[in-house]
Amino acid sequence: MIADGREVRTFASLRFRREREQSWIELESLVDQVRLEGLRSLSSEQVERFPLLYRSTLSSLSVARAIALDRALLEYLDNLALRAYLTFYAPPLDVLAAARRFALYGFPQAVRALRWQVAIAFAALAVGLFSGFVLVNGNEQQWFGALVPSDLAGGRGPASTAAELLSTEIAAPVPENVFGAIANGFFSHNTLVALLVFGFGLLAGVPTILLTVYQGAILGAFFALHYHRGLSVEFAGWVGIHGVTELLALVLMAAAGLRLGEILVFPNESSRTDAFAIHGPAAAKVAVGAVGMLALAAILEGYFRAAVQSTDARLAVAVLGLIAWGVYLRFAGREAPT
Amino acid sequence: MSAVIESKADELLGRGRRRMRMLVTPDGVPLRIEVPELAERAAAFAADFVVTLVAADLLLLAGYFVLGVGFGGATLAAVTFAAFIVRNAYFVCFELAWAGATPGKRALGLRVVDRHGGALTAAAVVARNLTREVETFFPLGMIFQAQSWVFAPWEIVPIGVWLLLTSALPLCNRDRLRAGDLIGGTIVIAVPKRMLLDELASDRRAFHFTDEQLQRYGILELQVLEDVLRRADTLGREPLLVEIAEKIRRKIEWPGPLERREAAPFLRDFYAAQREFLELRKHLGDERADKFHQTGTKR
A85 & A129 share domain: no
A51 & A172 share domain: no
The nearest CA of chain B is from the CA of A250 a distance in Å of 14
User: Which site among B61, B93, B94, B134 would you substitute to test the A interface, given the most A Cβ atoms closer than 10 Å to its Cβ?
Assistant: B134
Q: Is B101 on the interface with A (CB under 8 A)?
A: no
Instruction: Give the model's confidence band at B70: pLDDT under 50 very low, under 70 low, under 90 confident, else very high.
Output: low
Residue among B198, B165, B168, B170 nearest B182 (CA): B170
Whether residue A317 is contained in a domain is answered as: yes
| Residue ranges per structural domain of chain B | 8-190, 211-283
Q: Give the helix ranges, DSSP H, for A229-310.
A: 232-265, 272-299, 305-307
**What mean pLDDT is predicted for residues A99-108?**
87
Domain count across chain A? 2
State chain B's maximal CA–CA distance in angstroms. Answer: 91
Whether residue A145 is contained in a domain is answered as: yes
Q: What is the DSSP letter of B171?
A: G
For residue B68, the model assigns a pLDDT of 63
A116 & A78 share domain: no
Q: Is A155 left (phi over 0), alpha (psi -120 to 50) or beta?
A: left
Chain A residue numbers touching B178 (CB-CB < 8 A)? none
Q: What is the spatial distance between Cα A288 and Cα A33, in angstroms, rounded to a whole number?
A: 35
Whether residue A250 is contained in a domain is answered as: yes
A42 & A154 share domain: no
Cβ–Cβ < 8 Å for A101, A93? no
Chain A residue numbers touching B179 (CB-CB < 8 A)? 199, 202
Nearest CA in chain A to B269: A5
A135 & A227 share domain: yes
A40 & A137 share domain: no
Instruction: Give the model's confidence band at A250: pLDDT under 50 very low, under 70 low, under 90 confident, else very high.
Output: very high
Nearest CA in chain B to A100: B122
Is 90 exceeded by the pLDDT of residue A227?
no
A171 & A85 share domain: no
For residue A127, the model assigns a pLDDT of 95
Is 80 exceeded by the pLDDT of residue B18?
no
The answer to whether the Cβ–Cβ distance between A187 and B80 falls below 8 Å is: yes
Taking only Cα atoms into account, the Rg of chain A, rounded to an integer number of angstroms, comes to: 30
Q: What is the spatial distance between Cα A254 and Cα B298, in angstroms, rounded to a whole number?
A: 59
Helix or strand (DSSP H, E) at B21: strand B19-24
Q: Give the helix ranges, DSSP H, for chain A.
A: 12-37, 44-67, 71-89, 95-101, 107-113, 115-136, 140-147, 150-153, 162-164, 178-186, 189-199, 206-228, 232-265, 272-299, 305-307, 311-331
Q: pLDDT (tens digit, 9 = 90+) per residue, B218-264?
A: 888 888 888 888 877 666 677 788 888 888 888 888 787 777 777 88
User: Which site among B91, B116, B126, B214 would you substitute to test the A interface, given the most A Cβ atoms closer than 10 Å to its Cβ?
Assistant: B126
CA A230 distance to own-chain centroid: 39
Q: What is the spatial distance between Cα B8 and Cα A111, in angstroms, rounded to a whole number?
A: 50
**What mean pLDDT is predicted for residues A83-106?**
82
Residue A19: domain span? 12-89
Instruction: Give the model's confidence band at A187: pLDDT under 50 very low, under 70 low, under 90 confident, else very high.
Output: low
Whether residue A7 is contained in a domain is answered as: no
Q: Which of A89, A110, A138 is where one domain is finished?
A: A89
Is 90 exceeded by the pLDDT of residue B142?
no
For residue A337, the model assigns a pLDDT of 58
Report chain A's terminal Cα–Cα distance, integer Å. 70
A67 & A136 share domain: no
Q: What is the spatial distance between Cα B199 and Cα B197, in angstroms, rounded to a whole number?
A: 7
The nearest CA of chain A is from the CA of B114 a distance in Å of 8
A84 & A114 share domain: no
Q: pLDDT (tens digit, 9 = 90+) per residue, A214-223?
A: 889 888 988 8
For residue B297, the model assigns a pLDDT of 46
Tell me if residue B237 falls in helix, strand or coil: coil
Q: Which of A27, A60, A89 is where one domain is finished?
A: A89
Q: Which of A66, A89, A112 is where one domain is finished?
A: A89
A103 & A232 share domain: yes
Chain B residue numbers touching A17 (CB-CB < 8 A)? 199
A107-111, B127-131, B154-158: which is most confident? A107-111
Is 60 exceeded by the pLDDT of residue B95?
yes
The answer to whether the Cβ–Cβ distance between B127 and A288 falls below 8 Å is: yes
Q: Is B184 on the interface with A (CB under 8 A)?
A: yes
Instruction: Give the model's confidence band at A295: pLDDT under 50 very low, under 70 low, under 90 confident, else very high.
Output: confident
Residue B204 φ then ψ, to 5°? -110, 115
For residue A2, the model assigns a pLDDT of 45
Whether residue A215 is contained in a domain is answered as: yes
